[in-house]
Amino acid sequence: MQDTVLAQDTATSVLEEYSNNSLLNQTLLITGGTGSFGQKFTEIALKHNPRSIRIFSRGELLQLEMQKKFGDNPKLRFFIGDVRDKDRLYRACDGVDIIIHAAALKQVPLCEYNPFEAVQTNILGSMNVVNAAIDCRVEKAIAISSDKAVEPLNLYGATKKVMECLWTQANSYTGGRSTWFSCVRYGNVVASRGSVIPVFLKQRENGSLTITDDRMTRFWITLEQGVNFVIDSLTRMQGGEIFIPKIPSMKIMDLAEAISPSSKKVVTGIRSGEKMHEVLITEHESRHAKEFYNYFIIEPEHSFWGTKFPSGESLPEGFRYSSDTNAQWLSKEELQKLLRDA
């Protein structure tokens, strides 16, 4: 890889504002729209002046609270529904230009305890969204994946991996209907529900932080960075790609020190299904991936519909994008700033 490709400030790797008009006058549908990603996406997308945004989710209370939060914005439409319900999805997708698929069961222990439910939502539900998008002639559909989909060690990661395969290869089913499917894959979201940061913030009240293994590293991205990257990927997508932002890593001990330097650090042992380091691109995937200034693209390995990116740098043999060998690292001060801004 060329030095000019990698020369980048870790704190600003995906912080830049994306000035594109991919959402202008478009009708959007966000599955899982009342979640943390969906709400931040809605907040940012409204600034791009879409025609309307349809919020699709299961919980009426969260929809009511979100409606109040956005002040009964006339551009927002709220659809109570489940991605398992194909008929309801077809109704919600009618007249939609762009789908952002963020609905999923995400809590690792709960997915392990309820495996059938995880499969029905994360895999079969994603298939329903694909079929609805094609039949309703949606122009673009982009799904939100996770680093847990890479070499998965738990059921949640496995369902996300299958979702990626279904979503990217769904381009084979579109025929002449010109619907494009792509994915975005990134790491842990700062201060999101389910991440270790809210756990540490709560534990510091008692003066003791529990760490499963002090050698761990993790990728980190803010919610706003993730949303902006998704919006930017909408302008680049040709169908079948997995977009991966260049984001910084941080050692778990540095993370704990940044949140509460005075607290006691207690190592409890690695949990089942937990990784020592996170990976966003494997050695195998790097053979059909391209590097750009602040992101990577994994091209579809079986591109029956002909998608290829002529630009971008090919990755060296054996390249692996892992949190422990990352070229970018987040300092304690940078993390503290991200937490203040989150």
Q: Which of 140, 148, 160, 161 is catalytic?
A: 148
Q: How far apart are CA 176 and CA 287, in angstroms?
A: 30
CB atoms within 10 A of CB 78: 18
Length of the chain: 342
Q: At residue 200, what are phi and psi to the nearest 5 degrees?
A: -65, -40
- The encoded tokens of residue 207 equal 């003066």
Q: What is the DSSP letter of 316?
A: P
Element (H, E) at 90: helix 86-93
Is 148 an active-site residue?
yes
The 3 state secondary structure assigned to 92-160 is HHCCCCEEEECCCCCCHHHHHHCHHHHHHHHHHHHHHHHHHHHHCCCCEEEEECCHHHCCCCCHHHHHH
Contacts of 176 (CB under 8 A, 6+ apart): none
Please give the structure tokens belonging to residue 339. 């937490």
Q: Exposure of 272 by Cβ count < 10 A (0-12 exposed, 13-18 middle, 19+ buried)?
A: exposed
Cα Rg, the chain, nearest whole Å: 20
Nearest-angstrom CA–CA distance, 325 and 329: 10
Q: Where in the sequence numbering do the catalytic residues fall? A: 148
